[in-house]
Amino acid sequence: MANDNTTEIGWELYRSYLGVLEEGSLSGAARAMGIAQPTVGRHVDALEKALGVKLFTRSQMGLIPTEAALALKPFAQTMHSAAAALKRMAVSQGSSIQGTVRVTASEVIGQEVLPPILAQLQDTHPDLTVELVLTSRVQDLLQREADIAVRMTQPRQEQLIARRVGAMALGLHAHKRYLDKHGTPASLADLAQHALIGFDEETPFVRAARKAFPIWSRENFAVRTDNDMAQMALIRAGCGIGVCQVNLAARDRNLVNILPGSIPLSLETWLTMHEDLRNNPSCKVTFDALLKGLQDYMTP
């Protein structure tokens, strides 16, 4: 049973517990956190005593988390995100553009679209630091995992500021090298005779897309991957025909838009930020720069 006391448990204890949980050992956590290994051990012992639960058991493989440790993980991660957000906001206070803004986006957007936008932002505001988190998982702005997010779905939370950027058109594309070998499809029906590049696991977007584009189903793909950057690389390598952003493919003259306009697919794109950051100068200038840059990208 947990100890019934009113003593506040310091964040540093949870931080060390989370470090051990993620690294699997006291030494790994100490290296990742930049503190001494005995300090990490004392923190974990103190947290176990304060909570009245066992968090780790020792084994030849290292420290194994107990069910209690795993149950506490999402709460500790929320505390970690909040602490990081507090630090970012504290540094960026004032009227000048400085400090750190954390931006999250998909891998394709983060690697292919945002870098020139961020480079221009950096030139204009050299004291501003941007942390770019690339993931297909929707980072939770309410829990402050990020400050600003580029999302392919409209957010529903009332606490978020959301601006629709537009619809990113998608199209079928293949490298000229592939088309020289295998010919260019003259109709959607011809796609059945070609190597198609597509997904492995279904998502809500994929299920909705297949209703409008029936051939785009798992069993018809010669190469499958759920990583969007990998799909783009496979198209560029001449492995087959795949779906990608029309504006992105247009940057490479070796990529051919096949049957343009034949597939009714697009990605609704939104830029979102927590409303509490509305008056933060650094977040506001970053939000505005991303909005303009994404709009420029979508309407070349």
My answer on whether 79 and 124 are in the same domain is: no
pLDDT at 89: 67
| Whether residue 2 has pLDDT greater than 50 | no
User: Where would I find the beta strands (DSSP E) of the chain?
Assistant: 56-59, 62-65, 99-105, 128-134, 148-151, 160-175, 197-198, 223-224, 242-245, 255-258, 266-274
Query: Considering only 112-121, 145-154, 193-202, 290-299, which range has the smallest mean pLDDT?
Result: 145-154
Residue 8, amino acid:
E
Residues 192-219 have a mean pLDDT of 86
Instruction: Quote the tokens at residue 247.
Output: 């504006």
Residues 279-300 have a mean pLDDT of 90
Helix (H) or strand (E) holding 121: helix 114-124
Domain boundary among 29, 55, 89: 89
My answer on whether 135 and 16 are in the same domain is: no
Residues 183-195 have a mean pLDDT of 94
Instruction: Give the chain's domain count.
Output: 2
pLDDT at 14: 86
My answer on whether 54 and 132 are in the same domain is: no
pLDDT single digits (tens) 38-97: 898 899 999 989 898 999 988 777 788 999 889 988 888 888 777 776 776 666 566 578
For residue 264, name the pLDDT band (cuts at 50, 70, 90): confident
My answer on whether 189 and 62 are in the same domain is: no
Nearest to 267 by CA among 245, 296, 287: 245
My answer on whether 172 and 206 are in the same domain is: yes
In a domain, 1, yes or no: no
pLDDT at 166: 92
| 216-225 contacts at long range (C-beta below 8 A, 24 or more positions apart) | 216/243, 216/263, 220/192, 220/196, 221/196, 221/197, 222/195, 222/196, 222/197, 223/195, 223/196, 223/197, 223/198, 224/197, 224/198, 224/199, 224/200, 225/197, 225/199, 225/200
pTM across the whole model: 0.68
pLDDT single digits (tens) 211-253: 878 888 889 999 999 999 999 999 999 999 999 999 999 999 9
For residue 165, name the pLDDT band (cuts at 50, 70, 90): very high
My answer on whether 26 and 145 are in the same domain is: no
What's the mean pLDDT when you consider all of the chain? 87
Instruction: Quote the tokens at residue 217.
Output: 């189903």
For residue 6, name the pLDDT band (cuts at 50, 70, 90): very low
My answer on whether 226 and 130 are in the same domain is: yes
In a domain, 172, yes or no: yes
pLDDT at 212: 77
pLDDT at 1: 44
Query: Considering only 39-48, 181-190, 209-218, 280-289, which range has the smallest mean pLDDT?
Result: 209-218
What's the distance, Cα to Cα, between the start and end of the chain in Å?
Answer: 63
Could you tell me the residue range of the domain that residue 81 belongs to? 11-89
Q: Taking a C-beta distance cutoff of 8 angstroms, is the pair 82, 143 a contact?
A: yes
A 10 A CB-CB count for 268 gives 13
Bridge partner list, 57: 64
Residue 22: φ, ψ to 5°: -85, -35
User: At 149, is the secondary structure helix, strand, or coil?
Assistant: strand
Q: What is the 8-class DSSP label of residue 94?
A: S
| Whether residue 172 has pLDDT greater than 60 | yes
What CATH number should be reported for the domain holding residue 229? 3.40.190.290
